[in-house]
Structure 1
Amino acid sequence: MTEAAWRPVARSRAYELVVDQIEEQILAGSLRVGERLPGERELAARLEVSRAAVREAIRTLEAQGVVRSSVGSGPDAGTVVSAVPSEALNRLLRLHVALANFPMRDVVEARVMLERFSATLAAAHADEARLAHLLALLEAMDDTGIDRERFNDLDTDFHIAIAEAGGNRLVADMTIAIRDSTRRPILRGLEGLGDSWTEVCADLRHEHRRLYDAILAGDAGAAADEVETHIRGTSRWLPGALD
């Protein structure tokens, strides 16, 4: 493995340049998941920046899910290269969707693209445990006394479970991030349905069952079509989705 090569950075925007150097080492294969970065004092000396710049860079990378940092002197102390893309993607997408940097119609189209593929993979690869989990979520959504927030949480879990059942980690993480970013907008849409909630809830249950049946039967084409119909149907409640 190539040893990480650190070089001094310019003092202007020092923490950003520290981030750039750490990212360069990761992309070059010099730093891998589980490996520890030099200590704060040592890294600051190597890069000829302040320890404050190093701390800010580490905080930035932690927010991106690239490293995790622990204080103290034990074996778990220090900053370690990690890999938690789901958490980082979720945080990023939730904020940008909330700020409308991604138009809702674009979010819906991204969901359709990803979840069609997730449903296709699930139909081909879902094992008995994954299928049982999907069925348990459906049964929980069948509770006649369920409120909209609980239903929406279970609906989110159902779509995430389909993504995870496909066996492609990257597709699953991207699907999870997109679906989780729409949790709140969908809930607001459900809350705005008024008295039609009961009818809509019954329709959603029926759509979920059709999707589950296609996955259970191993019918990839039907599963993909069912999830697209479902997503496009629910998007009518989301402001901006049909613009």
Structure 2
Amino acid sequence: MPVDWEPVRQSRTHELVLRSIEQRVFAGDLKVGDRLPPERELAPVLGVSRSALREALRVLETIGVLVAQPGRGPDAGARIVRNPDDALGRLLRLHFALGSYSLGDMLEARVVLERSSFEAAALHAEPADLDEAEELVARMGAPDIGVPEFNDLDTRFHVRIARSSGNALTSTLTSAVRESVRPLILRALEAEPDWPATAAALNADHADLLRLVRAGDGARAADLVETHIRGLHGTLVDEPFTDA
């Protein structure tokens, strides 16, 4: 059924456009996959300029609920999507960089989220999810692996387990928190005097975590992941880094 668009007031125009679109989403008039009318049609219906409409659409794209494709054709235009991971990660990274949250805050958030994730994964993870996690562990175990690749695979391992927990919100928050501290963890790993030994020790934890999840031992997995996180991440709290 066509959406019945209405004009919005002119003060703080782009925010009012956002509110109008949000109201359509809340009412169920706009759903994932729906396309907005072209700018040339939607702007006059809302009673706003096309520049104000574009500003509102850029905000929606930034927060991960809209994708705008320029040009003409069936894929052109703005489409409602569901992509919270990148948006929340970007937002959290910025606020962390601005000092809204301390390293201690991030550490405690990681502990709470990942204890929950690993405990739930022991109950709900599908074999395919754990097979993928095992591949990541195997790749982290390569004798010549460098720090950046290890850090990337490490992030993916923790996020993969969170996604296998059956709780989409926990997965998204775990990804956002882990991504926000990725640069600091990278620098901490690069500063390790014996990188091969550090990589082997960290990955031994990963292998043990995966074994406990496969065995359905969520309580021990939760305890181990807390120890694992507090090990390296805890040193960052004790010796905070600043951006150069």
**One fold, TM greater than 0.5?**
yes
Counterparts of 2:239 and 2:95 in 1: how far apart (Å)? 15
- Please list the CA deviations of residues 119-177 of structure 1 after superposition, one character each: whole Å capped at 9, or x if unmatched: 11211122322222222211211122222212111111111111122232222122112
Counterparts of 2:222 and 2:167 in 1: how far apart (Å)? 16
The CA RMSD measured in Å over matched residues stands at 2.0
Q: 1:44 touches 1:50 (CA, 8 Å); kept in 2? A: yes
TM-score by length of structure 2 reads 0.90
Counterparts of 2:239 and 2:7 in 1: how far apart (Å)? 48
Greater Cα shift, 92-101 or 178-187: 92-101
Q: Mark the runs of 5 or more structure 1 residues left unpaired by the alignment.
A: none
TM-score by length of structure 1 reads 0.90
Output aligned runs, 1:16-27, within 5 Å: 16-27=15-26
Q: Does 1:153 align with 2:155?
A: no
- Please list the CA deviations of residues 173-194 of structure 1 after superposition, one character each: whole Å capped at 9, or x if unmatched: 221121122211100111223x
Q: Does 1:28 align with 2:27?
A: yes
Which residue in the other structure is 2:220 paired with? 222
Secondary structure in 1 matching 2:232: helix
Q: 2:107 touches 2:234 (CA, 8 Å); kept in 1? A: no
- Please list the CA deviations of residues 41-89 of structure 1 after superposition, one character each: whole Å capped at 9, or x if unmatched: 2221122111110011111111111111123332222211111111211
Which residue in the other structure is 2:205 paired with? 207
Q: 1:105 touches 1:241 (CA, 8 Å); kept in 2? A: no
Greater Cα shift, 65-74 or 208-217: 65-74
Q: 1:58 touches 1:67 (CA, 8 Å); kept in 2? A: yes
Output aligned runs, 1:170-189, within 5 Å: 170-189=169-188
Which residue in the other structure is 1:143 paired with? 142
Counterparts of 1:4 and 1:226 in 2: how far apart (Å)? 51
Q: 2:212 touches 2:221 (CA, 8 Å); kept in 1? A: yes
Q: Which residue identity does 1:197 align to in structure 2?
A: W
| Alignment CA distance shift 1:118-1:145 (3 Å) | same
Q: Which residue identity does 2:207 align to in structure 1?
A: R
Which residue in the other structure is 1:39 paired with? 38
Which residue in the other structure is 1:77 paired with? 76
Which residue in the other structure is 2:51 paired with? 52
Counterparts of 2:234 and 2:75 in 1: how far apart (Å)? 48
Counterparts of 2:6 and 2:188 in 1: how far apart (Å)? 52
| Alignment CA distance shift 1:240-1:41 (3 Å) | farther
Q: Offset at 1:4?
A: 4.2
Counterparts of 2:120 and 2:164 in 1: how far apart (Å)? 8
| Alignment CA distance shift 1:150-1:11 (3 Å) | same
Q: 2:189 touches 2:195 (CA, 8 Å); kept in 1? A: yes
Q: 1:104 touches 1:241 (CA, 8 Å); kept in 2? A: no
Identity across matched positions, percent: 47
Q: Offset at 1:241?
A: 8.0
Counterparts of 1:70 and 1:199 in 2: how far apart (Å)? 47
Which residue in the other structure is 1:112 paired with? 111
Counterparts of 1:28 and 1:64 in 2: how far apart (Å)? 19
Output aligned runs, 1:92-131, within 5 Å: 92-131=91-130
Q: Offset at 1:217?
A: 0.6
